[in-house]
Amino acid sequence: MSGMVLSTRLPLVASCLLITACGGGENSQPLADGSNPTALAEGGTWSTPLVDGTNGSSDSLGSANDGGDTGLRPGVYLTDIASNTGGSDEAVTWISGSGRFVTAINAVNSVFGNVEANSEGAQFSGSAANLFYTNQWNRAEGSLSGIVEDSQSLSYSVSGDYNASAALIRLVDLSNEPISLGILSDSYLSFDQTTSFTIGSQGGLTGSDSTGCVFDGQISIQSSNINVFDVTFDATNCGATPTSSPSERNGRYNGLGSYDSINLRISFMSANSTVILPFQGD
C-alpha cells in the first residue's frame, strides 16, 4: 500500500455507502464480529468527483501537519477494515483538521472518534466508537493507535470493546478540492425525499424530516483547501422509525462530510450517542 495515490472516482462499494435518514431498515454487526454488511442502495450512488488540487493544511491535528508531505493529514480516505475474527469491510473515512474522524461502512454501521498526532507526526492515537444496528442499536468503544505510513497512507488498530485494524489510502484529488461556506450554502433534499437540510452563508444548518424531526446546528470548515466539513446539530421532535424510537433519535449529532461540486450535493455521516444519521442530498 505504501506510496499509492488513488485519483479516480470513488469505487462502487464506497459510492453505495450512503444514504437515507436515520435508522435504516438493515441489520448490521459490530466490527468485532467480522461482519460484511451489504451497503444500503437507496438513494443512488455517491459520485463525488475527484479533481486536481493542491495540498491543504490544518494545524489542529498537530505541529507535523503543515500541509506538506508528512504527518497525519486531513482528507477523505479509502479504508479497508479487518476484524480480529477474520472479517473485512470496505469503507470511506473522513479526517478533519478538528481531530474528528468518521469511518462510514454503511448507514447502520459506522465508526466515530478523535485522533491526534504525536510531535513527530509519524504516529497518532485517539478513541473510537462503533455504532451499529442488529435488532437494536449498539455501541462498542475502543482505544486507537496508528502509524503514518507515508504522505498518503495510514494504518491503525483499535482495542477495547471491539478489536479491528484498518489501512487507509488518501484520495488526493477529492481531499484537496476547495471548499467554503459560500460553496456549501444551499438547500439539499435527500434522494428518498424524506429529509432536507439548508446551509446558510455563515454555516448555520437547519432542516427537517418526514417524521417531524427538526434539525438546528452548524457547519464548520477547518481548511478551505481540504474537502471535509464538520457538522454539529440538535435533533428535536423526532418521530419513530422502524429501527429507532423518538428518544433515541433526539439529541446532539456530530459528524463529517464532503461536497460534490459536479452534482452539487453534500454527503455526511453523523451520530448522537446512540444512533446514526447519514445524509446525501442535492
pLDDT in tens, 6-23: 333 343 334 444 433 333
Q: What is the DSSP string of 48-110?
A: -----------STT-TT-SSSSSS---EEEEEEEEETTS-EEEEEEEE-TTSEEEEEEETTEE
pLDDT in tens, 223-240: 999 999 999 999 999 999
Helical spans, DSSP H, in the chain: 12-15, 172-175, 181-184, 246-249
Which set of grid coordinates corresponds to residue 261? 461540486
Q: Whole-angstrom Cα distance, residue 264 to residue 88?
A: 32
Which set of grid coordinates corresponds to residue 181? 461556506
pLDDT in tens, 177-235: 999 999 999 999 999 999 999 999 999 999 999 999 999 999 999 999 999 999 999 99
Q: Whole-angstrom Cα distance, residue 221 to residue 229?
A: 5
Spatial contact of 47 and 262, defined as CB atoms under 8 Å apart: yes
* Cβ burial, residue 83 (10 Å; 0-12/13-18/19+): buried
Q: What is the mean pLDDT of residues 61-70?
A: 37
Spatial contact of 266 and 184, defined as CB atoms under 8 Å apart: yes
Q: What is the DSSP letter of 171?
A: B
Spatial contact of 142 and 128, defined as CB atoms under 8 Å apart: yes
89 pLDDT higher than 50: yes
What percentage of the chain has pLDDT greater than the value 90?
67
